[in-house]
Structure 1
Amino acid sequence: MTRDAPRQKICFLLRVDPDRIGDYLEGHETVWPAMLEALRDSGYRNYSIFVDESGLIVGYLETDDFEATLAAMSATEVNAAWGRHIGDMFLPVDDARPVGRVVPLRQAFDLDSALDSVTT
């Protein structure tokens, strides 16, 4: 299996106040159309967010250039408005990650890459 341009796979952790999980989930059931368009236009692909009952959030996205995607998204007015809308729901994940800031996790394994290495 060969892939065209490799995309960066980004996984990150955030934490929402457990008392605000309902608000967080409700907000994500009806994400503003302008926000959805900004995410797409900024380079977010295959973007998913998962939440557990403790408030731990695991996000995943694919993009061609993560730094450029973040910069493009940060430059949008809708991103600032969304941040004001949900920003007070976040808590620190740990001492290494700023509150509400996406810090990618290190990828330890990728099945497609591993399969590519043994089939070529």
Structure 2
Amino acid sequence: MIRNAFTMKLKPGFEAEYKKRHDEIWPELSKLLSDSGIHEYSIFLDEQTLTLFAFQKLEDGFEPSKIPNDPIVKKWWAYMADIMETNDDNSPVETSLREVFFME
């Protein structure tokens, strides 16, 4: 498995709504992510900066280019666009993070 981490940004005042939407994540989206090779997906919120820190484990051979083209993902992005910083296609603005330490 490959460990992957990135940040995103929440708009002010939407902390509770962001959590609510993820507590009610669509089953078809969860299935798509899992079937695509994404496991142990966690998102943490820094409440002072509204930075979202995401961590996930990806199966070896995970193909990231498939996810953005799926209609379920596009629908989720549109659903989340009002509460997050997004790109023109509604995808969240993500900043990849480089791993500098790991301890098992």
Same fold (TM over 0.5): yes
2:35 corresponds in structure 1 to 41
CA distance in 2, matches of 1:88, 1:9: 29
Gaps of 5+ in 1: 1-6, 93-98, 113-120
Note the 1:81-120 alignment, pairs <5 A: 81-91=75-85, 100-112=92-104
Q: Percent identity?
A: 23
Q: Secondary structure at the match of 1:71?
A: coil
Q: Secondary structure at the match of 1:19?
A: coil
Rg larger in structure: 1
CA distance in 2, matches of 1:65, 1:102: 21
CA distance in 1, matches of 2:96, 2:2: 11
- 1:62 equivalent to 2:57? Answer yes
CA distance in 2, matches of 1:106, 1:52: 19
Tell me the TM-score normalized by structure 2.
0.83
Q: How many equivalent pairs are there?
A: 98
Task: Name the structure with the higher strand share.
Answer: 2
Gaps of 5+ in 2: none
Task: Name the structure with the higher helix share.
Answer: 1
Tell me the TM-score normalized by structure 1.
0.73
